[in-house]
Amino acid sequence: MIQARGLGCLVFNVRSLERSKDFYVRVVGFRVVADDPSRKMALLAKGEREQRIALLERATAEPPAAGQPGMIHMAWELGSFEELQAAYRELRALGVQFERTVQHHVTRSIYFRDPDNNCMELFCNRHENGFEAMRSHNMGTAKLNVETGETEEMHHF
């Protein structure tokens, strides 16, 4: 078995390197650590664990189609519901359109898209150990009002 130490980097084809760099820096909070305009690529990093993404400009690339094989979304963990609420307000002020806001059995989450239609999730855990909670609860989701914390009835799947 391969003994990977962790995920090293996510690499994305993007239609506009400048637009995507702006989004990931301004909206998601990454910083540019390497930029090579001649090769139309950039490396960005974030956080204590140095989570990294690479952006490669492919101006004619089609955005990923929802529901097709491939990555569904990137999920970024926040420390508390208050942090999620603050992020929601900040993103809304930046003009970000939300795809959905939900409360799962184990998390509270907001979903939105980057400029190339990749889905992003910001979430906070509802339990100390989210994986244990997944094993001990029926999976389900409910629409979440991020500002008040109120939810609609949980739908199980």
The pLDDT-based confidence of 131 (bands split at 50, 70, 90) is low
Least confident interval from 2-6, 36-40, 147-151: 2-6
Same domain, 88 and 42: no
Whether pLDDT at 1 is above 60: yes
Asked whether residue 90 falls in the same domain as residue 14, the answer is: no
* Same domain, residue pair 28 and 102: no
pLDDT digits (tens, 9 = 90+) for 100-123: 999 887 889 999 999 988 889 999
Whether residue 43 sits in one domain with residue 98:
no
In a domain? residue 11: yes
Assess contact for 50 and 114: CB atoms under 8 A.
Answer: no
**Residues 81, 131 within the same domain:** yes
Q: pLDDT per residue over 43-89, tens digit each?
A: 999 887 778 899 999 888 677 677 777 777 888 888 899 999 999 99
Residue pLDDT, tens place only, 8-52: 788 888 999 999 999 999 999 999 999 998 899 999 998 877 788
Residue 13 is assigned to a structural domain of this protein = yes
**CATH number for the domain including 139?**
3.10.180.10
C-alpha angle 136-104-148 in degrees, rounded to nearest 5 = 130
**Lowest mean pLDDT across 34-48, 89-103, 123-137:** 123-137
Q: Is residue 100 located within the same domain as residue 138?
A: yes
DSSP state of 27: T
- Is the per-residue pLDDT at 136 higher than 90? no
Residue 151 lies inside a defined structural domain of this protein: yes
Greater model confidence, 44 or 129? 44
d(C-alpha 90, C-alpha 156), whole Å: 31
Q: Is residue 65 part of a domain?
A: no
| d(C-alpha 139, C-alpha 35), whole Å | 42
Provide the 3-class DSSP secondary structure of residue 136: helix
Query: Is residue 66 a part of any domain in this protein?
Result: no
Tell me, yes or no, whether 2 lies in a domain.
no
By residue range, what is the domain housing residue 28? Answer: 7-59
**Are residue 97 and residue 40 in the same domain, yes or no?**
no
| Residue 130 confidence (pLDDT) | 59
Classify residue 48: in a domain, yes or no: yes
Give the chain's domain count. Answer: 2
Tell whether 110 and 145 lie within a shared domain: yes
pLDDT reported for residue 84: 94
Same domain, 47 and 18: yes
Residue 18: inside a domain: yes
pTM above 0.85, yes or no: no
**Cα–Cα–Cα angle for 129, 44, 19, rounded to 5 degrees:** 115
